[in-house]
Amino acid sequence: MRTMKTTAILMALLPALALAPAALPAATAAQGITATAVSVKILGDSTMHRWEASAGAATITASVLPAAQGLSAAIDKQGLQSLDLVVGVDSLASPEGSGMNKNMHKAMESDKYPDIRFSLRSYALQGATVTAQGDLSIHGQSKSVSLTGQLSDAKGGVELKGSYPLLMSDYGVKPPVMMLGTIRVADKVTIVYDFTLAQ
């Protein structure tokens, strides 16, 4: 008798169960994306002439919540979850030659602080302009910074170009002095970056 009653209740509920909404899918996990053509340069001045140094070792690790419309749409929808840029200090090289490189690496104490690192915390988009909030670590000191760059579509992804001026002394780096003090490097430098993110 009880079995028949239970069966009748189940039969009555079946139509309602069939119309019930399906369970929501699990939250989409962020996926790793690759960075190509990573270019990082440091531009500066001295009592003799302007100078620059290019990074031979610059890597980016990043992740994004995927969007059906592609990477550009995912970034536009605040889907970029993480981005870390790491530059090897000893890989910085200037056309001025080994003497300049040696003084630069020494000033930055590359043996103690081998990397320059930027870690993204958040970002905002206004048209093609992106403003990124994050932490910039140089010479063992980390500071909160706001970087501004320009986004554009690139083959297979998006390209980001930008620059950021800073004082070396703000990060405890003493600007190099060469030739018995006759050549002095200016405290202010500009970090210029250009890279492409692709899925």
Q: Residue 162: CB partners within 8 Å, gap ≥ 6?
A: 147, 148, 149, 150, 192, 193, 194
With cut-offs at 50, 70 and 90, classify the pLDDT of residue 102: very high
**How far apart, in whole angstroms, are the C-alpha atoms of residue 169 and residue 88?**
19
Determine the pLDDT at residue 182: 64
pTM of the shown model: 0.83
Give the DSSP H or E segment for 11: helix 2-19
**Range from 4-8, 24-28, 65-69, 164-168 that averages highest in pLDDT:** 164-168
Structure tokens at 61: 């690790």
List domains and CATH numbers for the chain.
Answer: 30-198 (2.40.128.110)
Determine the pLDDT at residue 17: 38
What is the 8-class DSSP label of residue 28? P
Determine the pLDDT at residue 176: 82
> For residue range 135-171, what is the model confidence (pLDDT) as tens digits?
999 999 999 999 999 999 998 799 999 999 999 999 9
